[in-house]
Structure 1
Amino acid sequence: MRVLEEGKDYRSSATNDYQADIVEHYDECYWEYRTAWLNSHNLAIHYGYWDESTHSHSDSLLNMNRALANKVAINAGDHILDAGCGLGGSSIWLAENFDVTVTGITLSPSQVEHATRSAEKRGVADRVTFKTADYCQTPFENESFDIVWGLESVCYALHKKLFTDEAFRVLKKGGRLVSADGYALKEQFTEEEWLRVVTCLDGWAVPNLATPEGFKQYLQESGFSHVDYSDITANTMPSAKRMYYTALLTWPMQRLLVLLRLKTKAQDRNFYT
């Protein structure tokens, strides 16, 4: 049996700098995400949220923002930290739909440039800013934000407890944290299951996964109260199926591009996740 433990990097492709691996993944896979997943409106590198009101893949990506916003009860005037903002899709959506200011942070300077240009084009640059920063060790003062938003980003923390500690530090009293992410539903795996786990971690440059129970414990130890957890697997399953069938259709081209050395290792790992 293999055991998934907090604070360890289980990727077979890991280097000595896991944060540099994350940046490499997103910078090198930008065009894959741009052509196969997101568009200039949603700028979303995350699963979609499907319910009875969802009619398309693009709708589902924006609907994930709505689902988190409904959970966290946004108020006019809130200052939101988008922790792991990617290309800025959620940050921009929040500024367009609520009377809030947003600060987005990411490890990738390239993503900061993309996100900043998008905010300017969408007319929200006066209320949305982007910075290169580590969400486990931010440059912000204590009690700077009303909300910390983590959409499929917290999984990239090597030590999830460092993230929850930092989120609690930068939140004002009465502040809220909302996150949607992937979790491991158990800590022990057979050898066959472990190979699938490592393939997933390798493909997305994720060092490890927390369990829902473990993450709830980190939140409580950091000082959070009223922790609520919802399993939205059914709502995200159409996105997972879309990835699978897209990979089946494009596999021959992917193999050809790899043989011609027109795909990087990071791009190839991403394809097989």
Structure 2
Amino acid sequence: MYTLISNQDNRQLAENTEKSGDLLRKDTAFYYDECYWDYLITWCNRENLAFHYGYWDEAAPYRHHEALVNKNQLLYDVTRIKPEERVLDAGCGVGGSCIWMAKNYGNRATGLTVSSEQAKYGAKHAKRQGVADLVDFKVADFCQMPFEDESFDVVWALESSCYAVDKGDFLKEAYRVLRPGGRVVVCDGFFTRREFNQDEWKEIIVCLNGWAVPNLCIKDEFSGMLAQHGFHDITMRDLMPETMDSINYMLKVAKRWRPIHIASEWLGLRTEGQIANYQVGISQHYLFTKNLTAYCIFTGQK
């Protein structure tokens, strides 16, 4: 049996590699910088800039790109965000959510990323979409935010909290930068248990290594962590039924592009990180369909 160790980088790295927060931040930035065009070509587009899973409502079926945008709307509604409120997108990618809420609701939004390339791309996309006056980007670790206390009304973490080695460090900082009455929203993958057999652990390592993620929190423990760090009125919703179509779509994309990647790898045209990104597309499906991983949205108020 293999045991997931909380608050530790569980990835399997090259022999004699010393794990550290600095290495993880470097690996995370490198992964997203390497795979930027892969995301734009195979997953999102220049309008939604969405690096996340979509939200598929059975009552109103969506196409893939519509589902990606619908996830932004879900978080906005669940968190009860008002247009006049200032939002921090902690782990913003290239600014898709920031730009979306600025364009659709007029919110002022700040995107925080560990990648200077992502911040550069985000600023260009915000200017291209006409919201550069409402959206700005900072390069920093969201476990050590460069903001004054009580600077924001909402902290938004869409598939980004997983990159914190200690999720509590992120929640502590989120609480600090929120104004009284402010809300945090976390939408992410969560492990359903801590013990795994060899086959399960093999697929987990593919995902952790491929996406440069140190660990996932245990689903049943996250509400307690929110409360431990001062949040109240905590809510949790399991989004697996509404996410499964995206999980299946990612598997389909990975299989569709697999022959091209095999040939590109043989010709030396693809990096290890780019190849690993597509391998994750297959393994993530295994984790979700075997019920090793859940997909949930949590909210809490300061």
Q: Would you call these one fold, judging by a TM-score over 0.5? A: yes
Provide, for residues 65-114 of structure 1, a one-character-per-residue CA deviation record: whole Å limited to 9, x for no partner.
Answer: 00101100012310100000001000000111213210111000000011
Q: Does 1:144 align with 2:151?
A: yes
The corresponding residue for 1:101 is 108
Does structure 2 conserve the Cα–Cα contact (< 8 Å) formed by 1:146 and 1:171? yes
The corresponding residue for 2:190 is 183
Unaligned runs of 5+ in 2: 281-302
In structure 1, give the amino acid aligned to 2:3.
V
In structure 2, give the amino acid aligned to 1:18.
L
Q: Give the Cα separation in 2 of the matches to 1:76 and 1:241.
A: 34
The corresponding residue for 2:9 is 9
The corresponding residue for 2:174 is 167
Q: Does 1:83 align with 2:90?
A: yes
Does structure 1 conserve the Cα–Cα contact (< 8 Å) formed by 2:106 and 2:134? no
Q: Give the Cα separation in 2 of the matches to 1:146 and 1:223.
A: 16
Q: Does 1:198 align with 2:205?
A: yes
Report the CA distance between 1:150 and its aligned residue: 0.4
SS in 1 for 2:236: coil
Report the CA distance between 1:54 and its aligned residue: 3.6
The corresponding residue for 1:29 is 35
Higher normalized strand content (fraction of residues): 2
The corresponding residue for 2:45 is 39
The corresponding residue for 1:48 is 54
Report the CA distance between 1:143 and its aligned residue: 0.6
In structure 1, give the amino acid aligned to 2:250.
M
In structure 1, give the amino acid aligned to 2:40.
R
Report the CA distance between 1:53 and its aligned residue: 2.4
Report the CA distance between 1:2 and its aligned residue: 1.4
Q: Does 1:111 align with 2:102?
A: no
In structure 1, give the amino acid aligned to 2:143.
C
Q: Give the Cα separation in 1 of the matches to 2:68 and 2:189.
A: 16
Provide, for residues 179-210 of structure 1, a one-character-per-residue CA deviation record: whole Å limited to 9, x for no partner.
Answer: 11011011111122111111111111101010
Does structure 1 conserve the Cα–Cα contact (< 8 Å) formed by 2:149 and 2:177? yes
Does structure 2 conserve the Cα–Cα contact (< 8 Å) formed by 1:184 and 1:209? yes
In structure 1, give the amino acid aligned to 2:267.
L
In the alignment, which of 257, 260, 268 is matched to residue 267 of structure 2?
A: 260
Provide, for residues 215-271 of structure 1, a one-character-per-residue CA deviation record: whole Å limited to 9, x for no partner.
Answer: 222211110011111110111111111111122222111101011111111111111
The corresponding residue for 1:120 is 127
Report the CA distance between 1:3 and its aligned residue: 1.4
Provide, for residues 18-56 of structure 1, a one-character-per-residue CA deviation record: whole Å limited to 9, x for no partner.
Answer: 110001100001111110001011000000000132421
Does structure 1 conserve the Cα–Cα contact (< 8 Å) formed by 2:89 and 2:109? yes
Q: Give the Cα separation in 2 of the matches to 1:250 and 1:103.
A: 34
Q: Give the Cα separation in 1 of the matches to 2:77 and 2:229.
A: 24
In structure 1, give the amino acid aligned to 2:184.
L
Hey, which bits of structure 1, 4+ residues long, moved more than 3 A? Answer: 13-16
Q: Give the Cα separation in 2 of the matches to 1:180 and 1:152.
A: 6
User: How do 1:227-238 and structure 2 match up within 5 A?
Assistant: 227-238=234-245
How many residue pairs end up in the alignment?
273
In structure 2, give the amino acid aligned to 1:242.
Y
Higher mean Cα deviation, 240-249 or 58-67? 240-249
In structure 2, give the amino acid aligned to 1:31.
W
Q: Does 1:71 align with 2:86?
A: no
Q: Does 1:92 align with 2:99?
A: yes
Percent identity of equivalent pairs: 43
User: How do 1:230-249 and structure 2 match up within 5 A?
Assistant: 230-249=237-256
Does structure 2 conserve the Cα–Cα contact (< 8 Å) formed by 1:145 and 1:175? yes
> What TM-score comes out, normalization by structure 2 length?
0.88
SS in 1 for 2:269: coil
